[in-house]
Amino acid sequence: MFDILEIKDVRAEIGQQVRKIRKSTKMSQSELAERIGSSRYAIQHLEAGQNFTIDTLLKALKEFGLLHELFQQLHSSGRKYDSTQSLY
């Protein structure tokens, strides 16, 4: 998925994908926040790729029915990174 793995790029891509999925379901940030027991502010940060928690991300993925799919992809990819360079 990512050739050069940097945390800021991963966060930005995750945010873009969550926004795209949310909009495709015609759900507002406030509606998503209410459904997952979070705040609109937390969803806003998730979609902007800024300081979101893993809990917020996982709850959003679960709400969209994607959590199980994510774990299947991670397990089946077998992708490994040899670089020990810092991700930050």
The domain limits of the chain are: 7-64
Q: What is the pTM of this model?
A: 0.76
CATH topology of domain 7-64: 434 Repressor (Amino-terminal Domain) (1.10.260)
39 close to 33: Cβ distance less than 8 angstroms: yes
Question: What confidence tens digit (pLDDT) does each residue in 41-51 have?
Answer: 999 999 999 99
- Give the mean model confidence (pLDDT) for residues 13-17: 94
Q: 1 pLDDT exceeds 80? A: no
* Mean pLDDT (the chain, rounded): 85
Task: Give the chain's length.
Answer: 88
Helices (H), the chain: 7-24, 29-36, 40-48, 54-63, 67-77
Is pLDDT above 90 for 27? yes
pLDDT for 78:
65
